[in-house]
Amino acid sequence: MDKQESTATDPDLSLLSITLLRGVIYREGNEQLWGALLTLQARLRDYMAMLNLDLVLDEAEGYAFLKSRPDPAEGDDATRLPRLVARRPLSFPVSLLLALLRKKLAEFDAGGGDTRLVLTRDEIVELIRLFLPETSNEVRLIDRIESDINKVVDLGFLRRLKVTGGPASYEVRRILKAFVDAQWLAEFDARLAAYRRQLTGTAVEEMEKAPRGDTP
């Protein structure tokens, strides 16, 4: 065992395991836990492998999470184990919002400015409403988009910021890059064209019938 790693205790490993099984660990605001994660990552990977999970650790972006290993191929003799990290079905509007936020993050990174992308509620609404069918019920449309924003917050891809006296604002979490990868993003324009065809002449209430996506 590495000398530095030997200084970390088993309670550290237990705390890391439990925290990761609950969700994402971010470096920001968790410096002590993040330091233990970097020190214990080899042992943690071995332990999680026994649970059929992989540790995804991005030191540059400052986040870590667990994902299930791929299921064995059809006809493979390997045992198909139950998933500890469930795949969560996403509604079409939430999938669309995630895609738009990912594209916005890519454009933001290409600008080479600040590392934190912050959008107001109104900016997010305008981002997605361009791809929704027209409706005479503006209040209901805004309520629907806000509901989708809240779901993305719950998924951990947006962080609601505390703003005093200003518009509601959200930080786009950089972990979104790990779930919507570069290959998917390269096909984004084609996907949006498909979304537009699906939405042509469709009422907002029918969007839930459109194809759904998953988060790992």
CB 145 within 8 A of CB 122: no
**What's the CA gap between 116 and 109, in Å, rounded?**
9
Residue 163: pLDDT band (50, 70, 90) is confident
Residue 86: pLDDT band (50, 70, 90) is low
Q: Residue 115 phi/psi, 5° resolution?
A: -90, -10
Global pTM value: 0.70
**Residue count (the chain):** 216
**Angle between helices 138-155 and 92-110 in degrees, nearest 10:** 70
Fold of 89-215: Arc Repressor Mutant, subunit A (1.10.10)
**Angle between helices 188-199 and 92-110 in degrees, nearest 10:** 140
Q: Which two tokens stand for residue 116?
A: 């934190």
- pLDDT, one tens digit per residue, over 63-81 is 999 888 776 655 555 555 5
Residue 206: pLDDT band (50, 70, 90) is very low
